[in-house]
Amino acid sequence: MSAADDEYDLVTLGAGSGGVRASRFAAANYGAKVLVVEHPFGFVSSETIGGAGGTCVIRGCVPKKLLVYSSQFADEFFDSKGFGWSMSASPTHSWEEMIAHKDKEIQRLNTTYNNILKNAGVEYVEGRGVVVDPHTVEVQIPGGGTRRIRTKNILVAVGAVPTRIPVEGSELAVTSDEALALDSLPQGSIAVLGAGYIATEFAGIFKGMGKEVQLMYRGDKVLRGFDEECRDQVQENLEKRGTQIMPGCNPTKIEKKGDGFTLHYKNAAGEELSMDVGLVMMATGRKPRTYNLGLEAAGVEMDDIGAIKVDEHSRTTVPSIWAVGDATNRVNLTPVALMEGMAFAKTCFGGEPTVPDYTFIPSAVFCNPPMATVGYTEEGAMKELGGELDVYTSKFRPMKYTLSGRDEKTFMKLIVHVETDRVVGVHMVGPESPEIMQGIAIALKCGATKAQFDSTVGIHPSSAEEFVTMRSKTRRVMGTGTSKL
């Protein structure tokens, strides 16, 4: 080990959302000597492939949203007819061309993330980092060789990886990693397994690209954990747009058949059935990438799914080892990993102990049309808050569809805690809902009351104005919880 190697204030494992934010702030704002270890770049992650930017930039939020944009042009072509447009020929889509453009953009962003770190004075080493002891990291260099680095602090920001459910032939299915990098679309239909964020988003993407899609899941409804009425609306939209919904179904085996696959499954009635498809995609959750990292040996405690246990400052059970982002399985979203990374840097190097604030975190599912949400679901509010709750709902046909003829409704919902008049939950399924919800989240963070929503002047004509014109409550329900606002 060289003398210089002994001098680091921080070694970060992983240059994803949390790792980059924490390392950049520690170095640029607080003058810490920081080294980041990250796998070499590649579109599909593996035990040896990663890249600066991490999941969000290379195989998550960004490429997914680019594909969502691409798929939504199909809606625009359809809707434009009612507004007088006609196409001289049916529009066609080239998956290959879209992927080539997407790849170019992702490579540009990967370079940008490398430069962000470089410009902040962070040293960057390519390889796989493992923890040797509370103050030592070993980097396994691609192509052979290792480098040992001593450091005052270690930040584990290694993210998560897609999981495959254990059925025979599961290795034949793609995950979101491969789905975002397919060379071409298959001839036959696409069976998407799961009903969470990724499954519903990819069902929309593939459907928009003109594929037949089967959405197969074990529950009775998509998007468990979200507001029940929103779940109903998303499910209705998926069905109306032609996705074959297969609730209560469990895959049992995947077999190769010709250019495609046979997917065997048990349906809700317990019957053993099968169908031939062009591609099977598993969107059945992700797990922290914390295995074989030397963490247990160093004394870092983890939970039963391998998420690193941390205190409110993101410190693990070993004082010099910290962890942020998906590796800790708190709220697995990019802006949350950024918040945790920033709070860590302030705590560890800024002399300003900072606890990330998990209240009123907004999120969006980019299914088509999207769903966005902030605060309590109706069911969550009833369980956690005490006293009366007023629920306001609105379901309407967006103005654009009056001429386009699209048979689809937008759904909006406000949940109000009667005693304090505070708006505690806002949900929407409809076009532009993520863009609308970001502003609403600020209002909820500020403790906005229903009276303040009502006294806010709307923007007309828009769907968003409905949130400030909901005057008649749909129902009053009773909360039985004890949480305080």
356 binds ligand FAD per the rule CB under 6 A:
no
Q: Which among ligand NDP, ligand FAD, none contacts residue 224 (Cβ within 5 to 8 A by kind)?
A: ligand NDP
368 binds ligand FAD per the rule CB under 6 A:
no
DSSP, collapsed to helix, strand or coil, labels residue 381 as helix
294: exposed, middle or buried (C-beta count within 10 Å: 0-12, 13-18, 19+)?
middle
191 is in an annotated binding site: no
Which of 11, 27, 109, 128: binder of ligand FAD (CB under 6 A)? 128
At position 50, the amino acid (one-letter code) is: G
Which of 17, 347, 363, 373: binder of ligand NDP (CB under 6 A)? 363
For tokens 């598993």, what's the residue?
Answer: 282
65 is in an annotated binding site: yes
Q: Which stretch binds ligand NDP (CB under 6 A): 27-35, 140-148, 363-371, 477-485?
A: 363-371
Smallest distance from ligand FAD to CB 324, Å = 6
194 is in an annotated binding site: yes
For tokens 């749909």, what's the residue?
Answer: 474
State how far the alpha carbon of 182 is from the alpha carbons of 66, 102, 114, 176, 260, in Å. 14, 12, 25, 10, 14
Q: Which stretch binds ligand NDP (CB under 6 A): 104-112, 114-122, 191-199, 207-215?
A: 191-199
Smallest distance from ligand FAD to CB 149, Å = 12
Site string for ligand NDP, 453-482 (x = CB under 6 A): ------------------------------
Contacts with ligand FAD by CB under 6 A: the residue count is: 36
Q: What is the DSSP string of 110-135?
A: HHHHHHHHHHTT-EEEESEEEEEETT
198 is in an annotated binding site: yes
175 is in an annotated binding site: no
Smallest distance from ligand NDP to CB 330, Å = 10
201 is in an annotated binding site: yes
State how far the alpha carbon of 226 is from the alpha carbons of 139, 239, 401, 428, in Å. 41, 18, 26, 11
Q: Which two tokens stand for residue 307?
A: 């998420």
DSSP, collapsed to helix, strand or coil, labels residue 410 as strand
Angstrom distance (rounded) from CA 433 to CA 410: 9
Neighbours of 429 (CB within 10 A): 29
Q: Which is nearer to ligand FAD, 48 or 402 (CB)?
A: 48
Residues that bind ligand NDP (CB under 6 A): 165, 194-199, 201, 217-219, 224, 283-286, 332-333, 363-366
Annotated binding site for NAD(+): 194-201, 285
